Each structure stands twice: as C-alpha cells, then as structure tokens.
A and B are shown apart, each in its own frame.
Chain A
Amino acid sequence: MSQKSNLKKLKRNPSAGFHAKPTRAKSTERAISWMFRLGTYFILLCASVIFLTIIYKGSQTVFQASFPFVNIEFLTEAPQTLHVFEYEGEQMELSDSNFRVFEEERGVEIDSTTYAYSGGGIWPCIVGTVLLVIGAMTIALTLGVLSAIFLSEYSKPGKTLNAIRLSILNLAGVPSVVFGIFGLGFFVLAGPIFSFSPFEGYDIRFWPLPIYFGFVGWNVSLIAGCFTLAFMVLPIVISASEESLRAIPQGLREASLALGASKWTAIRTNVLPYAMPGILTSSIIGVARVAGETAPIMFTAAYAMRDQLPWQGLEKWSDFFFQGVMALPYHIYVVSAKIPQNEYTERMQYGTAFVFLVIVAGIALSSILLRIRMRKKYRW
C-alpha cells in the first residue's frame, strides 16, 4: 500500500491498522491501571472519613444554633469540670464556675454529677500551641538557615560534608518520642541556666562578673518544648533551605562578587532574599506538622491542666519561658486517654481536634499565601 493511501485511511479511521478487539495485553493494562486507581480512591476515602467525622462532630461543639453561633465559652475559657444536674425539672449542664454562680444566685446547694475536663473550653491550649509553634519556628529557622548557608555556600564538598548531610537526614527519621526523651534529658533536666544572682546548684561563677551558670535544667517549660520541637523540624528546615539556596542561579552570586561584594554581602543581598519564600513555606509547613506531635512535648512542656495563662502571675519576665503550658495535642491525649470516657468528654475531644485542624490548616494556608506574595515581589 502506498503511503498516501495509508494516510487517507488513517484520516478516515484513526485506529485502522491496529487491533479493533481488546487484546490480552490491553485488558491486563486496564486491570493494572484500575488497581492503582482503587488504591488512590481508598486513601481518599479514608482521608475524607477522618476529616468529615472531625468536622461533623467537632463543629457541633464549636458552633451552636443560636446567636452568636460560635461557642464562645469553648474558645475563650480554660477546661473545667462539667456539672450535670436537674433543676426545677430541667436537665442542665454547666461548667464549674458557672455552676457556682448559679448556686449562689439561687442560694441553693444542688447535687450534680461531675465530669472532669468536660466543661469550659480550650483557650489555654490554643495559646500554648501557638506559643510553641512560634518559639520552635524561631529557633529552627535561625539554626536551620545558618547551617544551610554554611552547608551549601561555605563548606567544601567532601566526606565530612556528606557525613553531616547524612546525619541530618537521619535526624528526620528519629521517632518523635525519642525527641521527647532527648528534650527531657537535655533541656528539662540539664538545660543551662545563666543568672545574675546565685541559684541552687550553680556550677560556675564568671568571677568577677556577677554571672552564675549551671546545668540545672529548665524544668517542664515552654522553652524546653520549643527547643525540642525545633530539633524535630530542623532536618526539614535545613533540607528545604539548602534546596531553596541551590535553586538560586549561580549567575547572581557571580555577578555580585564581580561587582565587589564580599561573599556574605552577595548571599545577604542576592541569594537569601530570593531563597526566603521557599525556606519559609517549607519550614512553616514542617512546624505545623510537628506541632501536632504529642510525644515531644509530653515530657518537656505540656501540663494537663494549668489555671493561669502564660502571661498571668509572672514574677519576672524570664518566667514566661520557664513555665509549662497547655497544648492542643496533649489536651486531646488527656481527654481521650487519661480520664473516664463518656458522651461529654467526646464532645471535648472532637471540638479540640476540630480547632486544632483549623489552626494547622490556617498555618499551612498562610505559608502558601506568603509564598505567593513573596514570589510576586522577587521574580527572576
């Protein structure tokens, strides 16, 4: 058959010349593609079940049918004991503080069934988690960007560098509870303390300066938690930063240097600003992920219950960092595993999980918006 007639035939019927009937190979191909497809759908199904359950049950706690539609108490109060009782033929549920006011106003003493942690709200947990995230982010970004700049801009390639990279990668594979134990050992029990006045257990006085120093530990505290979380995100921050730095064209560095910039000036003016969007987004998402971990803060920062908010009742400013905080993931753990379960605790669990989900999604979303904004500003 001549080429021309072949072409004509193809135009009329594109599959001419191929098998019209499905062959064995074709059906195997289809079966395999379905296998992949089903796997993906299954994951999708699981994810939606998880999310929808949390959203459905959680929103019942967080939102309400009557004005102001949001459960203000849940978002602004500390967890309290819930009193369930019958008053003048009506079934009532009140958190501890409201229950007392109720009793006082009416001048009666009421018998009630109490459920621990099932009243009030989760405001201190929200505060604690936000503080942990900010602190961990600050520490991880500082250390991570410093070391990424060293690794990708200053160090000489070789065995040592590979060893360093490998160990950083391995750090990413360490289970979170191990980080928790590490934080307990290094920060809670043996964190270094500097002070202008002598304190119990100090080792060194920097004589004649009035500075005292000792590894006496930070106790269970916000700062111990921040450092522990920071060490967990470090591998993410470092590899993200290195990747972002590598993506900056070498031409920009050379051009700066050729104009009389020092190496650091070139990095500061023509590498870091353009790498920063990438560094920030990946790091923020990394922090959002570790913020969800319970194990690392369980021994280092989290209190099951604390009446005061972190800024209340401070004797000196440093106390802010050296106090334990409540945190969302730990609170979920406490209300789900540490207290007797009933319908009232379930509301707390799902409400907390829902708020937590919203916060994490918010962090991730803001990092994406940040990236879009910064990308627009610095485009090459």
Chain B
Amino acid sequence: MSLLTHNLTAKTSQQTTQSMASKPSGPSRPLIRVSDFDFFYGEKQALFDINMEMRENEVTAFIGPSGCGKSTLLRCINRMNDLVEVARIGRGKIEVNDADIYDPRVDTIELRKRVGMVFQKSNPFPKSIYENVIYGLRIQGINKKSVLDETVERCLKGAALWEEVRDRLDTSGMSLSGGQQQRLCIARALAVEPDILLMDEPCSALDPVATAKVEELIHSLKDHYTIVIVTHNMQQAARVSDKTAFFYLGKLIEMGKTDEIFMSPKNEQTEAYISGRFG
C-alpha cells in the first residue's frame, strides 16, 4: 500500500514500508503535508502560504466562502491542476506520505491511483454501471472476470449503492438519479483502492436524503481512507469531519479539531463565517 510512486527513491519507500508496519499504534500520522504553499493562475495568486497537515484515517473539511481557493488546494493534492494551462506553483511543496508530489520524478498516474477524487458535479462515464466501477481496473489491464465481479460488488456495497442497482448493472450509469450517480462516482474511486479520497462538494447537487446517504458513507469510509472534503454546508462539516480548515481569500485562516472550530473559533473571521455573518 505504498503511496510512493515508482519513480521515487528506494530510500523513501523503505521508510514508508516501516511506517506502514507500525501503523495502528499511537495517534495517526500526517499523510498529507502542505508547506509554505503558494499557487497562481497566471498572474493571479489563488493560494497564499498554506501550511497544514491531514492525518491518516481522519476526515478533514475545507470550508470558506466561494472563490477562497478550497477546490484549488484540493486539486493540487492529486495534481489535477496540471490540466489547467496557466496553473503554476509559486513556492512551497505538498507531500503525500512524505514524498514531494511535485517532484519531477513523480508519476502522476501512480499518484492519482493513490489519491482518488470525487467531483462536485457527478460525472459517471456513459457506460454501464459495471464498466463505470471497474474503469480504473480495466485501464490497468485487469480483465479477469472474477476479480472484476468481486470489485463491483465490494465497491458498490462500499458506496451504499449495491442494493439499489444490483439487478441492473448493465444499464447506463447516466440513467441513475443524481445522488446515485454521485455514489457511483465514489464507488468508482474506491475500486482503484486509493489511500486518500478528495471530495469537492460531493453533496452540492443532492437532496437531503441522498446527502445523508453520502454522509453516512463518508463515516464508514473513514476507517480505511483518509478523506478531505470541501463543503459549503456548515452542518455537514460538523457532522462528518474530524478536522476543519477555514479558508478566506486564498489563505488558511484557521485549522483545528472540528468541535473546537465550531464551538470556540480563535479567529474572529472564522467565527463570523461559521455563525453566518458573511460569505
């Protein structure tokens, strides 16, 4: 379960193996570390000097008003921003499992297998439900029927969708309802067996029932995955997350245990935002 890409040095991957061996004992270790991170879209700076850690098997929520850079930071963690032409890192680094992910030797394909992503707008492929789930395996050349069948069942169960679709795995993923589509996208991400799951407002297009299902799901996924979730819904952040990070105008204003952030925020901007006085 090494997070490291093939291209990274042998030394680091040894360390990883050791740390993995001693895993469950003690408080969870930081899995994602962002240090002094500046990020630009062309001339426009979107992130300013971000420093934070996200720990293994914890749910971290990103909150903050629109345009404050939550999605930007999230998309930096699996290098999705590489797709953006003008995107550029000014300073600092992001480490995943102690490996700098912007090291030129990093294989982004391996990185993205380790760091899965669920998008704000559910985007199932126009293929069958079955093919949607196993897409990540197919492209790795895994075609063994028994493995695929097992994966489909396990991941759909993991995403709390199995009961609803078990009889119609052949129908198009696009034929599902919005909430089902979003859970299908989660199942699809689970099939690749990532260590980290990044979710960008996964419930923004869902009704309360579907939202509750996804939230339940996040709870159950916590044991096996490290989750980072962007949300505009304060209640949701409070319900699902262990840690909360509040961003404002591209800066990380405050980060801490969710209880503490919501009960007794240290920063007055955080307080104002949480109590709904702006943003």
Please give the residue numbers on chain A whose beta carbons come within 8 Å of chain B beta carbons, in ascending order: 156-157, 249, 251-262, 265, 269-270, 274, 378-380
Contacts and interface: CB of A to CB of B under 8 A. Distances in A.
B139 A259 contact: yes
Given A249-B123, A274-B126, A380-B126, A258 B112 contact: yes
Closest 10 CB pairs of A and B: A251-B123, A260-B113, A380-B126, A258-B117, A259-B136, A255-B123, A260-B112, A261-B139, A265-B139, A260-B109
Interface residues of B, number: 27
Interface in B86-135: 109-110, 112-113, 116-117, 119, 121, 123-126, 135
Interface-central residue, B119, B135, B192, by most chain A CB under 10 Å: B135
B258 interface: no
Contact of B83 (A257, A265, A269): A257
B80 interface: yes
A180 B211 CA distance: 64
Contacts, number: 66
Contacts of A262: 109
Interface in B218-274: none
Interface of B: 78, 80, 83, 85, 109-110, 112-113, 116-117, 119, 121, 123-126, 135-136, 138-140, 172, 174, 185, 188-189, 192
A379 B123 contact: no
Given A259-B135, A259-B192, A254 B83 contact: yes
A257 B112 contact: yes
Contacts of B189: 258-259
Contacts of A380: 126, 174
Identify which of A156, A257, A265 gathers the most chain B CB atoms within 10 Å of its CB: A257
A269 B134 CA distance: 13
A145 to B, nearest CB: 20
Contact of B174 (A253, A260, A379): A379
30 contacts: A156-B85, A157-B85, A249-B123, A251-B119, A251-B121, A252-B123, A252-B125, A252-B126, A254-B83, A254-B123, A255-B123, A256-B135, A258-B78, A258-B112, A258-B117, A258-B119, A259-B112, A259-B116, A259-B189, A259-B192, A260-B109, A260-B112, A260-B139, A261-B109, A261-B136, A265-B139, A269-B138, A378-B126, A379-B174, A380-B174
B188 to A, nearest CB: 7
B44 to A, nearest CB: 17
A41 B192 CA distance: 61
Contacts of A156: 85
Given A254-B119, A255-B185, A257-B83, A270 B125 contact: yes
A380 B172 CA distance: 9
A251 B181 CA distance: 13
Contacts of B119: 251, 254-255, 258
A260 B83 contact: no
A374 to B, nearest CB: 12
Contacts of A270: 125
Given A259-B113, A260-B192, A379-B126, 10 more contacts: A249-B123, A251-B121, A255-B123, A256-B139, A258-B119, A259-B116, A260-B112, A260-B136, A270-B125, A380-B174
A258 B194 CA distance: 11
Nearest to B112: A260
Contacts of B121: 251
B80 A257 contact: yes
A252 B126 CA distance: 9
Given A270-B125, A380-B126, A260 B85 contact: no
A256 B112 CA distance: 10
Contacts of B83: 253-254, 257
Contacts of A256: 125, 135, 139
Contacts of B172: 379
A249 B119 CA distance: 13
A368 B221 CA distance: 47
Contacts of A257: 80, 83, 112
Nearest to A274: B126
B140 A260 contact: yes
Contact of A269 (B117, B123, B139, B185): B139
Nearest to A260: B113
B1 to A, nearest CB: 15
A251 B172 CA distance: 17
Nearest to B121: A251
Nearest to B124: A255
The residue in A157, A251, A262, A265 that gathers the most chain B C-beta atoms within 10 A of its C-beta is A251
A269 B138 CA distance: 10
B110, B125, B172 pick with most chain A CB within 10 angstroms: B125
Contacts of A378: 126
